[in-house]
Amino acid sequence: MSYFLELQNLLEIERKEDLSLFENQNKLLSNAEKRNLGIVWYPIAIRNTEIGRGDYLLVEVERTTHQEIVHQFRSGVPVAFFTHHDSDLKLEGLISHVSANRMRIALKVDELPDWMNKGKIGVQLLFDNNSYDEMKRALKKAEIIERNDTENRLIKVLTGVEKPFFKKEASGYISSRLNDSQNQAVNSILAAQELAILHGPPGTGKTTTLVEAISALYMQSGKQILVTAPSNTAVDLLTLKLAEKGVNVIRIGNPIRVSQKLEELTLDYKINQHQYNKEIKQLKKQAAEYRNMAHKYKRSFGKLEREQRKALFDEAHKLLKQVEQTESFISEDLLNKAQVITATLVGVNNYAIKDRDYDIVVIDEAAQALEPACWIPVLRSRKVIFAGDHLQLPPTVKSKEAEKLGLSSTLLEKNMGFHPEAVSLLTTQYRMNKEINDYPSIELYESKLHADRSVATRKLDQKDIPVEFVDTAGCSFDEKINGTSVYNPEEANFTLKHLTGLLQNHNKAKYSVAVISPYKQQVELLKELIEDWEDLKPFLAQIDINTIDSFQGQERDIVYISLTRSNSENAIGFLSDIRRMNVAITRARMKLVVIGDSGTLSKNAFYSDFISYTEKINGYKSAWEFMHI
């Protein structure tokens, strides 16, 4: 089977599983439960309606309660309005802009139905087929190119058929802002003709290096560069960093981080500031007046009124066509002048840039990106730079079958295997004490990862041991199972007890603390327990509790890891994915405390070796040592 046909089959398996999970969730959960999951806003208030691009009516809504709940709404995703008094009444649309508590939704209607003005209404997420459609289109296009375009070297390189080329002459690029391995990486990126891979372990300054490389690439080629990532958060960070470096960058889509500085970098904002935008506003105002006149006609009107109403709507549509043409002209003008365009992988097919091609595409966080999504920007380019770390968390795959058949294998990871000569490893990290650094360095990074001297020896105090494993073996801290999750009440209590002692001994410094676990149920239990833990109340503002996965990309002074598993079968579930533990360990700057049952864990080589490592540095403790505290 063709490489791309196989990927299409895997993607379809994943889509079906995702849809099934979504439908089951909708059937089983109440609106209140959906609201708590962030997939429903209810109740909402309509704050504004205006004419949007094309024939769309833009409705701005605000959630009026439960504003503290983190939501999953994002631009480009389908949603439906609903009312509490009639479950059959629905109106579907697409999110065009979203912030913390407000969003604009594009509707293909001339006016809102009457029921939206009566009683409480809400808005809920619909299944996002659009992302799957975009990925499928990219794979089909790649399949056609692979079959018919014998000159396309990039596809042959990325599928392992041919080797990448590199320029023989050295660029000699050196920046005083970068260390040796970072400068070498930038030079490798500049020398690559089809492919370069920036491998950035935790704390090594991957984003700094990537921004420097993008700036250097533009100086070298003078041609526009497309910069993408799977998440809005990663795109936002790169957009800000590029702007700070003086790069003319335009962000496509809505930033997830709502800040004035970031908003000013979006295409929408720049269009609004353009000199021709006054003309657009005037045309929109005139079109709105025609629509308002049309809406004044009652529903029971005669032929003459019907014709007049239609004529008014027609005039409004003509004006909106002029608006669309003017906006397109402004958009093209702005985009043509940009040095860098940034967007998410799927956002690359946004209407404003869907027909643009690039010499160079950069994909950050490529180790967390599904391969089909990567082909969307890749097919627009002649050269690709991947950046990421395949030894941290992989992309989320919901179908076990698709995962088993290879959908979780990323394009970055495959090409690190195909083309090791294209890989540049960053070797100096600026986050962790040397003893925290050394275990993941030895186990995962071939002992090449080193702590910079600025962080290598920093500790809570001179006598402190930066890495501890507290062994709960023999304490009868037995795990419990609730549905698909695992929790361990005794270990949770012990974790907070141990943390209390540590913070009380260092109460003069306001250290930031993360208490993390692989298991959601254990996290919920820890959050519940800490509320009533009197001795920790003075420190609550310093402590964050969450899953390991949610902490990727973050760091804290002190990190506690509650491993949770403790059973006679030595079953450790997804703790066996050592990439998750790599993320957990490497969040800590000065102090790492891992709490777990050596009897359950030590059958796995990674944990057995970790326990041995803590013994060598005098960091191994038994939980029994703390029972009297």
For residue 97, is it within any domain?
A: yes
C-beta atoms surrounding 136 within 10 Å: 17
Average pLDDT over residues 292-308: 64
Q: Which of 99-103, 287-291, 499-503 has the highest mean pLDDT?
A: 499-503
Helix axis angle, 129-148 relative to 3-28, nearest 10°? 170
The DSSP annotation for 252-303 comes to -S--SS--HHHHTTBHHHHHHHSTTHHHHHHHHHHHHHHHHHHHTS-SS--H
Average pLDDT over residues 53-67: 84
| C-alpha distance from residue 54 to each of 50, 118, 279 (Å) | 12, 28, 16
Helix axis angle, 578-585 relative to 434-444, nearest 10°? 160
Average pLDDT over residues 232-250: 95
Instruction: State the total domains in the chain.
Output: 4
What pLDDT score does 255 carry?
76
Question: pLDDT category, 427, cuts 50, 70, 90?
Answer: very high
Q: What pTM does this model have? A: 0.90
CATH number of the domain residue 121 falls in: 2.40.30.270
Q: Determine which of 152-161, 170-179, 242-251, 294-303 has the lowest per-residue pLDDT on average.
A: 294-303
Q: How many whole angstroms separate alpha carbon 627 and alpha carbon 621? A: 12
What pLDDT score does 296 carry?
66
The reply to whether 316 and 422 lie within a common domain is no
Question: pLDDT category, 160, cuts 50, 70, 90?
Answer: very high
* Domain that residue 301 falls in: 273-335
- Percent pLDDT > 70 in the chain is 94
- Does pLDDT of 30 surpass 90? no
The reply to whether 413 and 438 lie within a common domain is no
Question: pLDDT category, 436, cuts 50, 70, 90?
Answer: very high
For residue 392, is it within any domain?
A: yes
| C-alpha distance from residue 223 to each of 226, 339, 361 (Å) | 10, 7, 11
Q: Is residue 596 classed exposed, middle or buried when 0-12, 13-18 and 19+ CB atoms within 10 A define those classes?
A: buried
User: Phi and psi dihedrals of 461, rounded to 5?
Assistant: -160, 170
Average pLDDT over residues 262-284: 81
Picking from 352, 418, 346, the residue whose alpha carbon sits closest to that of residue 375 is 346
Q: Determine which of 76-90, 377-391, 407-421, 493-507 has the lowest per-residue pLDDT on average.
A: 76-90
Which comes out higher in pLDDT, residue 51 or 442?
Answer: 442
What pLDDT score does 303 carry?
65
The reply to whether 210 and 285 lie within a common domain is no
CA-angle at 271, arms to 265 and 273, nearest 5°: 85
Does residue 584 contact residue 432 with C-beta atoms inside 8 Å?
Answer: no
- Does pLDDT of 54 surpass 70? no
Length of the chain counted residue by residue:
629
- Does pLDDT of 107 surpass 70? yes
- Does pLDDT of 559 surpass 60? yes
What pLDDT score does 354 carry?
92
For residue 267, is it within any domain?
A: no
For residue 13, is it within any domain?
A: no
Omega prior to 164 cis, within 30 of 0: no
What pLDDT score does 49 carry?
86
Q: How many whole angstroms separate alpha carbon 104 and alpha carbon 92? A: 13
The reply to whether 314 and 371 lie within a common domain is no
Average pLDDT over residues 417-428: 98
Q: How many whole angstroms separate alpha carbon 461 and alpha carbon 459? A: 5
The reply to whether 404 and 486 lie within a common domain is no
What tens digit of pLDDT does each residue of 444-478 get?
999 999 999 999 999 999 999 999 999 999 999 99
The reply to whether 481 and 604 lie within a common domain is yes
For residue 108, is it within any domain?
A: yes
Give the 3-state secondary structure of residue 123. strand
Which comes out higher in pLDDT, residue 494 or 84?
Answer: 494
CATH number of the domain residue 406 falls in: 3.40.50.300
The reply to whether 325 and 347 lie within a common domain is no
Q: Determine which of 18-22, 228-232, 267-271, 401-405 has the lowest per-residue pLDDT on average.
A: 267-271
To which H or E segment does residue 57 belong? Answer: strand 57-63
For residue 571, is it within any domain?
A: yes
C-beta atoms surrounding 326 within 10 Å: 17
Domain endpoint, select from 394, 426, 458: 426
The reply to whether 601 and 522 lie within a common domain is yes
What tens digit of pLDDT does each residue of 585-611 get?
999 999 999 999 999 999 999 999 999
Label each residue of 570-584 as H, E or C. Answer: CCCHHHHCHHHHHHH
Does residue 273 contact residue 243 with C-beta atoms inside 8 Å?
Answer: no
Kindly give, in sequence order, each residue whose CB lies less than 8 Å from that of residue 8, ignoring residues fewer than 6 positions away. 136, 139, 140, 143, 372
In the DSSP assignment, the letter for residue 73 is: -
What pLDDT score does 264 carry?
93
The DSSP annotation for 418-477 comes to H-GGGEEE--EESSS-HHHHHHHHHHHSTT--EE-TTTTT--SSTT--SEEEEE-TTS--
Q: Which of 58-72, 106-120, 258-272, 370-384 has the highest mean pLDDT?
A: 370-384
Question: pLDDT category, 27, cuts 50, 70, 90?
Answer: confident
CA-angle at 30, arms to 28 and 34, nearest 5°: 95
In the DSSP assignment, the letter for residue 556 is: E
For residue 16, is it within any domain?
A: no
Direct distance between the N- and C-terminal alpha carbons of the chain, in angstroms, rounded to an integer: 64
Binning the chain into helix, strand and coil, the percentages to the nearest 5 are 45, 20, 35
The reply to whether 310 and 454 lie within a common domain is no
The reply to whether 402 and 437 lie within a common domain is no
Picking from 394, 402, 376, the residue whose alpha carbon sits closest to that of residue 552 is 394
Domain endpoint, select from 399, 426, 453: 426
For residue 259, is it within any domain?
A: no
The reply to whether 317 and 369 lie within a common domain is no
What tens digit of pLDDT does each residue of 175-227 get?
999 999 999 999 999 999 999 999 999 999 999 999 999 999 999 999 999 99
The reply to whether 228 and 285 lie within a common domain is no
| C-alpha distance from residue 328 to each of 255, 283, 286 (Å) | 21, 15, 19
- Does pLDDT of 531 surpass 70? yes
What pLDDT score does 574 carry?
85
Average pLDDT over residues 507-517: 93
Label each residue of 143-198 as H, E or C. Answer: HHHHHHCCCCHHHHHHCCCCCCCECCCCCCCCCCCCCHHHHHHHHHHHHECCEEEE
